[in-house]
Copies of this chain bind each other. A is one copy, B any other.
Amino acid sequence: MAKIITFGEIMLRLAPPDGQRFLQSPELEATFGGGEANVAVSLANFGEDVAFLTALPEDDIGQAAVNSLRYFGVDTTKILRQGERVGIYYAEKGQSQRPSKVIYDRKYSSISMVKQEDFHWDEIFEGTEWFHFTGITPALTPEMHAVCLDACMAARERGITISCDLNYRKKLWTTEEAFETMTKLASYVDVCIANEEDAEKVLGISAKDTDVDSGKLSYEGYKAVASEISERYGCKQVAVTLRTSLSANDNRWAAMLYSDGGYYFSKTYDIHIWDRVGGGDSFGGGLIYAIRRGMDSQSAIEFAAAASCLKHSIQGDFNRVSVEEVNSLMKDGGSGRVQR
């Protein structure tokens, strides 16, 4: 009985070899990933007992998705094996001034065809202490709005802690649709995570004096956003990731945690990016781990920021790092000396 459950979609990620554009050569790197699956893998790598909940077809591609999670020790026994296809996303890495590019082909996937009645929350939540989903999960289909609401209500009833990464995806729904659904769900959320643009586009709360496209971030603005989210929706903790994109290769990365009225900022990392996709999810994984282990707020935000800093150096969606490696970065500062 896994203590943590994350809920969402896992997709086949098809990526050309580094530096190539889509189908520039007939080779694709085929791995799996998706916001909530990425959080599950992060937590499993940190030693947590975690299950991933989704729907996957019974064919070999669906099985490979399951196996990719079992590889890390994620519990896959709750996964519904039904539907017809595994969602796909094509991911092309950016370089210098050329941005990374993602093409989604996720419509009609198994998780997008589920019905409310496919989920038996009593069974699913047996023994569960923490439930995590993102703004992508309800955005998949109108049916999934209802499913997510069911999940939140069931979790709340059982006293399960609920975390949510707002994660706005404009290809999936409009800001109006997002607002309508997410404001309903937000009131169940204990720990809310938002990246730069989410709060504004999903909840309509904007950081003043910040223009993410120009790389200008206002720390004061983010404080106001976090406390307003907390106030409006009753979230106990609100975490904000602070990314400044200098180029496709170079980002500045930090995070803030609002907790019990206090604002805690992590160290800022200047990152040479290897693979940016999944960076935010690894932050979520780090934060959940830190909170569950009872770290104080400053330590928790440092842990989450360091964990996600490392993710940017790793190929694929999944954050393949251990607690020791995160601690080592926090302690040694990332000078990159060889570990023999």
- Which residues of A come within 8 Å of B, CB atoms? 14, 18-31, 59-61, 64, 67-68, 70-73, 84-86, 88, 90, 92, 94-105, 107-108, 169-171, 212-215, 245-251, 269, 271-277, 309-310, 312-316, 320-321, 325, 329, 332-340
Tallying the copies of this chain within the complex gives 6
- List of B residues within 8 angstroms of A101 by Cβ: 60, 338-339
B26 A30 Cβ-Cβ under 8 A: yes
B19 & A26 in contact (Cβ 8 Å cutoff): no
Residues from chain B with Cβ under 8 Å of A249 in the complex = 272, 336
Docked complex Cα distance between A272 and B214 (Å): 19
Instruction: Say whether B313 contacts A97, CB under 8 Å.
Output: yes
The distance in angstroms between the C-alpha atoms of A329 and B250, with both chains bound, is 16
A-B CB contact pairs (8 Å), 19 listed: A18-B18, A19-B315, A26-B30, A26-B31, A27-B30, A60-B92, A60-B103, A67-B72, A85-B107, A95-B313, A96-B272, A97-B309, A97-B310, A98-B314, A99-B335, A99-B337, A100-B336, A213-B332, A213-B337
Q: Distance in Å from the Cβ of A303 to the closest Cβ of chain B?
A: 14
Extra pairs beyond A96-B334, A97-B269, A97-B313 (19, CB < 8 Å) = A19-B275, A23-B30, A26-B29, A27-B28, A60-B92, A67-B71, A67-B72, A71-B71, A84-B105, A94-B338, A95-B274, A96-B272, A96-B273, A102-B339, A104-B340, A213-B335, A245-B336, A245-B337, A247-B336
